[in-house]
Chain A
């Protein structure tokens, strides 16, 4: 059997090394290598999809000794929770490379960093060894720091520094929890499968480990009040960086919440379930209200991410609190699907804002008006993505959020107040569309050009998938459900 997980994982790294080896190459050739490498990676992940996942446990395992003396090994594999996220990752990176083919400023370093980031992201989702997971988790941080610091907007140095220090501070407690789980497992191992099948800690130790992990993933997700790095990083990051940050890297937080917190300290998670649920509800509502207050369109989308990730937290908390396995499975189905949908929708929205900014060099909503007449393709694409983001039935977010709300109503009816978030997001998106795309065209932008072929190619797959997932969520849900239905915790 071809080790397709490892091939997919390390292809981008190989591409990066190739570019570094070719010191003097034309900008086009560098971007071509980036697009081809990420395209092959996408094919690799599709191949993984065609191999499918197992009813129980992880599929497509690939193992290699690494540091046997301390029980660490190279272990990768996928299940129904990680595989959809891998697919999302490879797709978004591929599209980002197409979109970024316009980058003229130090293209070599840009593409190398993006490819490094892609390997780190795939690695985070496929790692089955805690050290390996932590390595990829941190490498992604370093690459993103250089991405924001090197190609960001006006205030990039400060934003990049804030992002780096904030998220490093966030990720170090995870190291503590990993050490605790390691020392608690007998014999000592970093094998995540062993920790999942046989949670090594209980009682107070498990609760402390859980708190450490929750802190890490709350910063990463981000959950109010640990979200302050997000708007700064998003606004300053280049469009490609924003897409990856929101579409892929925020999922590290929610994926970790399920994989580590829920699966490795399940009892403690159940005990703390209500608190986590409250954090989720507050994050969802806070994100929506904060988004309402923004006039910068990129900040607005950044805050709706806080809102959407809040729903994921609610879903995971409900899964822990529910006693009926069917409800649990549905709650997790909804949460994982929500991660995928958010990647597609927010990815599209950040691309669109990037394209808008390339043309207008501003992100202030009030500066625009009537763009639907001037740039219809851009305008209608934005309308579609925005409607998806506010949870319109038939588009990607609806099936996910519907499932989450449904189980919330069954398990903790009071928490359904979170549904208010939908109303607010609907309001703020309609306001944004009204200001930017409707009304009388602003004279200043009459000469604005509509999307070119490269931009259409970037957007089309996302918009199509938003509709496909909205109409036929079973395409993704079947894979997710296979794993969630069998989860024991």
Chain B
């Protein structure tokens, strides 16, 4: 038991962080809550480092401490810290400010549980824990848009959550255990395996915003504060993707789950980018882009079990995605929500413009940026698993994605029209926290692109 707890130090630190931040908020000390959450999260990330290379589980196999789980902490905890800085820049000074940090940490804890799940019950726990906090975060501004978004998000989440629990009961009935590692017992019961699989796709697909369970995402992102949208597009999504990998690694192959997931992947990528092409609101555009990016993650999922490249590719792409997506949202917070706001920004804010171009090209998968390395590995993993057709579709979608991201890049370097010029002369006031976030994200987007070896070497 004591050994088990030693392996859980990062999670315990996050839990304590939540408690202390909540205390600070109750004492009306939001700055302390901010400091406690950021320090706690970074400390937890630091305490994860000794666990690198671990491949074990605690609590009788229900909670896994393996490559996925460790890297989920190393990626999600710093990403959460950055999101909290963004939230401070956007929501700082509002009443109940500290609760935002507490809820964000809680959602992150839920995402970590998802990424480490070794048991169907922990899967449910993770979905609920990250879900409940997210509803509250979306509703935080308490205006009509936010309330509507949170309502949609909540109703959708309740239904998909219920379906997931219902389907998982089939797995329990079939294998006699809630442990994911016992799923291989289902190889003689394909129907039961399939029902459970569909339930998991519904439940986790909702979390990761996969098509056709994505409908809440654009509205929720648009209604929520931008910093919360940035956070939700990264942390719970990656948690759900990692949970997917945890589930399918033990699933018997004769359910043809890779094919099912491949189909979801095609739908997600294609629909996400096609819908993004039609958006004029940059938040919605990035929301659809993050839906499409989830489809790319699934290229790694289909290869789980077929080759060792699968986990590597998912982890590298997760790190890349966290950096570039947070960076793009941070710049968006500085510039504004509409495409018009981006007009000529690249000429006036040169360095920030370059950073935004780097984030967007990285999202499109242009080398030598982080997104390229991640997608390249995902393509390799899928091809090695025999899914060449899926790789071809992913590559075609990459072209589509370029058209999507250039919709932001092109106006950035346009000569501003005279009509809109006066509105833009009011330069946004400097926001050191946002600047810090996009600089960190920029460094990682370039760094993972040029020097992925530290990550690759650690995983394999």
Contacts and interface: CB of A to CB of B under 8 A. Distances in A.
Interface of A: 65-70, 106, 109, 131, 134-135, 138-139, 142, 146, 149-150, 157, 161, 164-165, 168-169, 172-173, 175-176, 179-180, 182-183
Given A135-B367, A161-B410, A176-B395, A67 B402 contact: no
A134 B367 contact: yes
A68 B398 contact: no
B366 A179 contact: no
A142 B366 contact: yes
A353 B391 CA distance: 44
Given A169-B399, A176-B392, A138 B453 contact: no
A262 B452 CA distance: 31
Interface string B309-352: 10010000000000000000000000000000000000100100
B316 to A, nearest CB: 10
Contact of A175 (B379, B410, B413, B460): B379
Contact of A172 (B368, B395, B403, B453): B395
A26 to B, nearest CB: 17
B383 A183 contact: yes
B324 to A, nearest CB: 15
User: Ordered nearest first, which 3 A-B pairs have the shortest CB separation?
Assistant: A69-B456, A135-B367, A135-B368
B381 to A, nearest CB: 10
13 contacts: A65-B453, A67-B453, A70-B377, A106-B347, A138-B366, A138-B372, A142-B361, A157-B410, A157-B414, A161-B406, A165-B403, A165-B406, A172-B399
B187 interface: no
B380 A183 contact: yes
Interface in B122-175: none
Interface string B394-436: 0110110011001000100110000000000000000000000
B50 to A, nearest CB: 21
B60 interface: no
Contacts of B376: 131, 175, 179
Contacts of A139: 367-368
B406 A179 contact: no
Contacts of A70: 309, 377, 380, 456
A109 B410 CA distance: 16
Contacts of A175: 376, 379, 395
Contacts of B460: 69
Interface residues of B, number: 34
Contacts of B361: 142
A71 to B, nearest CB: 11
Contacts of B402: 164-165, 168
Contacts, number: 75
B384 interface: yes
A173 B392 CA distance: 8
Contact of B383 (A68, A157, A180): A180
B445 to A, nearest CB: 14
Given A168-B399, A175-B376, A176-B391, A66 B453 contact: yes
Given A138-B367, A142-B366, A173-B395, A179 B380 contact: yes
Interface in B434-460: 452-453, 456-457, 459-460
Contact of B380 (A69, A164, A182): A182
Contacts of A176: 379, 383, 388, 391-392, 395
Given A70-B380, A165-B399, 19 more contacts: A66-B453, A67-B452, A68-B453, A68-B457, A70-B377, A138-B366, A139-B367, A157-B410, A161-B406, A164-B406, A165-B403, A165-B406, A172-B396, A172-B399, A175-B395, A176-B383, A179-B383, A179-B391, A182-B380
B456 A146 contact: no
Contact residues of B: prevailing secondary structure = helix
Contacts of B347: 106
Nearest to A146: B413
Nearest to B397: A172
Contacts of A68: 453, 457
Interface in B371-387: 372, 376-377, 379-380, 383-384
Contacts of A157: 410, 414
Contacts of B350: 109
Given A66-B453, A180-B383, A150 B413 contact: yes
Contacts of A182: 380
A402 B413 CA distance: 46
A68 B403 CA distance: 33
Contacts of B410: 149, 157, 161
Nearest to B351: A20
Contacts of A179: 376, 379-380, 383, 391
A253 to B, nearest CB: 18
B315 to A, nearest CB: 12
A170 to B, nearest CB: 9
A163 to B, nearest CB: 11
B453 A69 contact: yes
Most chain A C-beta atoms within 10 Å of own C-beta, residue among B368, B398, B457, B459: B368
Nearest to B366: A138
A106 B392 CA distance: 40
A183 B367 contact: no
B225 to A, nearest CB: 33
Contact of B457 (A69, A131, A134, A142): A69
Contacts of A150: 413
Contacts of A161: 406, 410
A277 B278 CA distance: 43
A67 B414 CA distance: 38
B363 to A, nearest CB: 14
A179 to B, nearest CB: 5
A77 B372 CA distance: 24
A161 B410 CA distance: 9
B384 A183 contact: yes
B96 to A, nearest CB: 42
Contacts of A164: 402, 406
A66 B392 CA distance: 27
A68 B377 CA distance: 14
Nearest to A67: B453
A140 to B, nearest CB: 11
A175 B379 CA distance: 9
Contacts of A169: 399
A78 B413 CA distance: 38
B413 A67 contact: no
A282 to B, nearest CB: 26
A69 B456 CA distance: 6
Most chain B C-beta atoms within 10 Å of own C-beta, residue among A66, A138, A180: A138
A335 B388 CA distance: 34
Contacts of A135: 367-368, 372
A109 B413 CA distance: 12
Contacts of B383: 176, 179-180, 183
